[in-house]
């Protein structure tokens, strides 16, 4: 089984009170909770693609976390994975480390980057039923104003009609999924689970907008995320 997750930020104590406002009593408590959620789902033989920003810790502290996580780990490098630059860090726990990757997942292309790509390879590929054959999985933006802007871009793309090679009019396919760990209750998910999680998140957001909410979270007012109950929200800053 293959799973995906982004922006765990192990050892990043500030995320409990600022930015994500995760609300744990300490960074140690946050680390332990995320390890528990991870290992409850992932078996030693499973694959986990980490879409950047795994750890805020130094080489020793990050190694301590890696030694406790189940699975065969693949890292798409994020801007905060600074431990990789430490000569003392042993990267052998990762099967590979890349800035960008493309993989096949159950006959679908997955384009992988820490940063979202509005136009990605294979974007227009559809199967015989018109379902997408390519997804862009990313992290980086957490649950910020950038998420709202990216959602608006996808809505605009999906309402734009183009003519396909067969002469049929179709909306522009645009399937970007933010695999932010808080969206999944800190649990790595399969591609199909992320597709469903993203669908539910966007439906919930549209309901909030219909009810008069702006859709942009300010401070630590709180947000409901899948399988996690009440999770404090995040400031626009990262």
Q: Which whole number is the average pLDDT over 4-24?
A: 91
Confidence band of 130 (pLDDT split at 50, 70, 90): confident
Beta-carbon count within 10 A of 28 CB: 11
Asked whether residue 238 is assigned to any structural domain, the reply reads no
> 17-26, 42-51, 75-84, 213-222: which has the minimum mean pLDDT?
213-222
Asked if residue 136 is part of any domain, the answer here is yes
For the whole model, what pTM was predicted? 0.87
Is residue 118 situated within a structural domain? yes
Q: Are 237 and 19 in contact (CB under 8 A)?
A: yes
pLDDT digits (tens, 9 = 90+) for 81-123: 999 999 999 999 999 999 999 999 999 999 999 999 999 999 9
Query: How confident is the model over 143-178, as pLDDT tens digits?
Result: 999 999 999 999 999 999 999 888 889 899 999 999
Which CATH number characterizes residue 146's domain? 3.60.21.10
Q: Which pLDDT score, from 0 to 100, does residue 213 have?
A: 64
pLDDT at 237 over 70: no
What is the pairing mode between strands 100-105 and 108-113? antiparallel
Q: Which domain holds residue 19?
A: 2-231
pLDDT tens digits, 194-207: 999 999 999 998 88
Whether 26 maps to a domain, the answer reads: yes
Rounded to 10°, the helix 191-210/145-158 angle is: 100
In a domain, 236, yes or no: no
Domain membership of residue 192 (yes or no) is yes
Domain count along the chain:
1
Pairing status of strand 169-171 against strand 161-163: antiparallel
Are the CB atoms for 111 and 120 separated by under 8 Å? yes
Q: Which two tokens stand for residue 63?
A: 């190694």
* Within a domain: 90: yes
pLDDT(138) > 90: yes
pLDDT at 220: 52
**Residue 80 CB-density burial (10 A; 0-12 exposed, 13-18 middle, 19+ buried):** middle
Q: 229: pLDDT confidence band, cut at 50, 70 and 90? A: very low
Residue 237, in any domain of the structure: no
SS3 call for 146:
helix
Query: Quick check: 56 pLDDT over 90?
Result: yes
């Amino acid at each position: 089984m293959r799973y995906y997750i982004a922006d765990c930020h192990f050892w990043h104590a500030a995320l409990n009170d600022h930015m994500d406002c995760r609300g744990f009593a300490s960074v140690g408590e946050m680390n332990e909770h995320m390890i528990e959620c991870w290992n409850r789902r992932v078996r030693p033989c499973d694959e986990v693609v980490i879409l950047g920003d795994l750890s805020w810790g130094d080489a020793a502290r990050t190694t301590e976390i890696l030694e406790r996580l189940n699975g065969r780990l693949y890292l798409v490098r994020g801007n905060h994975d600074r431990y990789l630059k430490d000569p003392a860090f042993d990267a052998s726990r990762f099967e590979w480390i890349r800035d960008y990757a493309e993989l096949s997942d159950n006959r679908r292309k997955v384009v992988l980057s820490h940063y979202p790509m509005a136009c990605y390879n294979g974007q227009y590929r559809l199967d015989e039923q018109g379902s997408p054959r390519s997804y862009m999985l990313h992290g980086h933006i957490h649950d910020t104003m950038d998420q709202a802007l990216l959602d608006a871009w996808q809505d605009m793309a999906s309402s734009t009609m183009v003519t396909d090679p067969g002469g049929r009019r179709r909306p522009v396919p645009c399937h970007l999924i933010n695999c932010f760990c808080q969206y999944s209750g800190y649990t790595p998910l399969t591609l199909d689970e992320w597709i469903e999680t993203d669908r539910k998140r966007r439906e919930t957001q549209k309901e909030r907008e219909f009810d008069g909410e702006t859709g942009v979270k300010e401070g630590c007012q709180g947000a409901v995320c899948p399988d996690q109950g009440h999770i404090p929200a995040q400031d626009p800053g990262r």
